[in-house]
Amino acid sequence: MKKEVQVHSLFSDFDIYLFKSGKHYRLYEKFGAHIMEVNGEKGVYFAVWAPSAKSVSVIGDFNYWMEGEHPLNVRWDESGIWEGFIPGVQKGTKYKYKIQSHVNDQKLEKADPYALSCEHPPNTASVVWDLDYKWKDKKYLGTRKEMNRLDKPFSIYEVHLGSWRRNMDENRSLTYSEMATELVDYVRETGFTHVEFMPIMEYPYDPSWGYQLTGYFAPTSRFGTPQEFMELVDAFHKAGIGVILDWVPSHFPEDKHGLGLFDGSHLYEHPDPRRGYHPDWKSLIFNYGRNEVRSFLISNAAFWLDKYHVDGLRVDAVASMLYLDYSREDGEWEPNEHGGRENLEAISFLRDLNNEVYGSFEGVQTIAEESTSFPMVSKPVDLGGLGFGMKWMMGWMHDTLEYFKKDPIYRQYHQNDISFSMTYAFSENFTLPLSHDEVVYGKRSILGRMPGDEWQRFANLRLLYSYMFAHPGTNLLFMGAEIGQHEEWNYNGSLDWHLLQYDYHKGIKELITELNKLYKKQPALHEKQFSNEGFEWISYDDSQNSVLAFIRKGEDPKDSLVIVCNFTPNTLQDYSIGVPKAQKLKEIFNSDDKKFGGSGIKNKTLKVEKESFHGKEQSVKITIPPLGAVVFQIL
């Protein structure tokens, strides 16, 4: 093989202009390692950004990792880009960049920030790869815009691929290819509309769960090749299920082969530790004011939507990006130019991100994990918002789980905790999350929080999920919650699938399946899920009985549903509620159904009386089962 590096470039002058302006959103087509043919010779073109480098060479198993054997050429235009074509390098070649820096003359070995594939951790080399794959999801993509609209069902199953299910014979996680059958079949069976993967981009440290990334453009090699991950996405699309990826533009680890001090300088991270170092996570924070970094991050978001056909991005730790004083004491942060605590550069970056995503990819959604009251997170950029499609409703999650932890005898004193979310439910497009963060670090599993004896604990869990699906907004449930997992989540193990041999656990799974069917079938539960026009209280102040009653509405008034929740273990008979104009109420869902593990207390079709109650001209007497939720159709 020839040793010399040939001069070659994929960058036009306009590419360089866009890159330096922070407006190049397809950098993966230029940077990285690209298999190609130049002047009749097959090989690989390499390009890397390292403006503080004295020299950059490609080292790898093709040249025995010898520094200086294949030096790249620096561009003349002061872009800081080093590039060149090396004949004879093939797919599967392991490589890194050897960088000699102007800063203290230090020498660094770095993985390729744009690598399409990486070695299996703990090894850290990049791998020359391609993205050749014959997609079979054209029909699905043609319907995605309709399916992912904000007035459509959005029920998300959150998954950690390494611990969803394991091959016990070989004591390993399933591969992408195995999950293309087993996981897809399971999500389809339980009725979720979307699956959300905790980060699948390459990460070095298993206990980080993937939230400390080093390979932003490479699906982790733990479970297979890039093409096998494409096969998994394709299989979900064939089943009509959308795929959302957790995406982490908020911080990155200090691993020596990663982005930190990439060319000896603070290239990707902010140079001021008050803005460039995260004290909680011991990680580095991107410099959102540097144009080339903005181009890198937005290109990365576009990459997964473009090359892997994913249907949405759930953006991690947005609150940590928005505030300069996030998790910092006085004196540990510096105000912005207006004297405020907002990170103006990060806010601008998020708006640019959402403008690009929604402007270039039809039918996708971005979802913000944002835990503060920052305004207009899920409002359009042109109206002054951040431009996300949805935002996690962390307040609902916290208040609801705290309420359910209480012995039912004390719930009468905390009625406001369970009803308060409705006071702000329509200020954003909210997703109600019961996520992985709620079942770790001693918080216990969702079932483990429920009070009472075994029957009451499972009844409380059925009630919690039923209330969640009946509440305005979309839903997210972390894996294991749908089978009533006893133990906290273990990233290094498997869900306790053996629990499904027991009736109560089987009943929880059946309940979730039934709730997903109800959510998809009933327009009142999704058509106006983000609008106050889709919700009306019947009663929120019966603290003595710990009862909530409300109406959910769709576009057609005939689709309205009446939902009643009893948060005590007492059966409430002849309980009067006011109802809209109707002749009858028909029970269409009851969390106390015996098939879910309940006691089987039900309502027959009920005749509405012309007797005013709760401010309505008519009323009806119902039976509310213990620790139960009932959904009625208005006839």
pLDDT tens-digit map of 78-90? 999 999 999 999 9
Candidate list 369, 370, 428, 482, residue with the active-site label: 369
Specify whether 115 is located in the same domain as 165.
no
| Confidence at residue 293, expressed as pLDDT on a 0 to 100 scale | 98
User: Which of 68, 93, 127 marks a domain boundary?
Assistant: 127
Q: At residue 522, does pLDDT exceed 70? A: yes
* 517 and 577 inside one domain: no
Domain assignment present for 310: yes
Number of neighbouring beta carbons within 10 Å of residue 123: 12
454 and 519 share one domain: yes
Residue 470, domain member (yes or no): yes
Mean pLDDT of 100-115: 96
Amino acid in the structure at residue 194: H
% of the chain exceeding 70 in pLDDT: 100
Residues 431 and 564 in one domain: no
Q: Which of 503, 524, 545 is the last residue of a domain?
A: 524
Co-location of 520 and 545 in the same domain: no
* β-strand partners of 94: 127
Residues 515 and 549 in one domain: no
Average pLDDT, integer, range 58-70: 95
Identify whether residues 423 and 468 lie together within a single domain: yes
Q: Do 40 and 187 belong together in one domain?
A: no
Catalytic residue among 15, 202, 311, 316: 316
How far is 125 from 59, CA to CA, in rounded Å?
10
Give the SS3 label for residue 22: coil
What percent of the chain clears pLDDT 90, i.e. is strictly above it?
96
Q: How many of the other CB atoms lie within 10 Å of CB of 347?
A: 16
DSSP one-letter string for 82-110: EEEEEET--TT-EEEEEEEESSTT-EEEE
Going by C-alpha positions, the residue among 152, 150, 164 that lies closest to residue 198 is: 164
pLDDT band at 472 (very low <50, low <70, confident <90, very high): very high
Please say if 316 is a catalytic residue: yes
Per-residue pLDDT band at 2 (split at 50, 70, 90): very low
- Residue pair 450/457 in contact (Cβ under 8 Å)? The answer is yes
Domain of 118 in residue numbering reads as 13-127
Does residue 257 lie within any of the structural domains? no
Shared-domain flag, residues 19 and 60 = yes
Check whether residue 107 and residue 201 sit in a common domain. Answer: no
CATH of the domain at 121: 2.60.40.10
- Average pLDDT on 52-66 reads 96
Asked if 452 and 485 sit in the same domain, the reply is yes
Q: Is 143 contained in some domain?
A: no
Find the CATH number of the domain harbouring 613.
2.60.40.1180
Residue 331 in this model has a pLDDT that exceeds 80: yes
Tens digits of residue pLDDT in 167-184: 988 889 999 999 999 999
Residue that terminates a domain, selected from 506, 524, 542: 524
Give residue 531's pLDDT: 97
What does the alpha-carbon distance between residue 55 and residue 581 come to, in Å, rounded to a whole number?
Answer: 78
Q: Is residue 356 part of a domain?
A: no
Render pLDDT for 486-520 as a digit per residue (tens, 0 to 9). Answer: 999 999 999 999 999 999 999 999 999 999 999 99
Looking at residue 1, what is its pLDDT?
Answer: 44
How would residue 581 be classed by pLDDT, with cut points 50, 70 and 90? Answer: confident
Letter for the amino acid at 421?
Answer: S
- Would the pLDDT of 284 be above 50? yes
User: For residues 550 and 399, what is the distance between their CA atoms, to the nearest angstrom?
Assistant: 19
- Mean pLDDT lowest for which of 179-188, 461-470, 603-612? 603-612
The number of distinct structural domains making up the chain is: 3
Q: Are residues 582 and 620 in the same domain?
A: yes
d(CA 144, CA 362): 8
Q: Is residue 270 part of a domain?
A: no
- Is 279 a domain residue? no
User: How, if at all, do strands 584-590 and 606-607 pair?
Assistant: antiparallel
Predicted TM-score of the model (pTM): 0.96
Catalytic residue flag (residue 105): no
Other beta carbons within 10 Å of 122: 8
Beta strands in 128-167 (DSSP E): 155-159, 166-167
Would 42 be classed as within a structural domain?
yes
Please report, for the domain that includes residue 405, its CATH number.
3.20.20.80
Q: Is 379 exposed, middle or buried (0-12, 13-18, 19+ CB in 10 A)?
A: middle
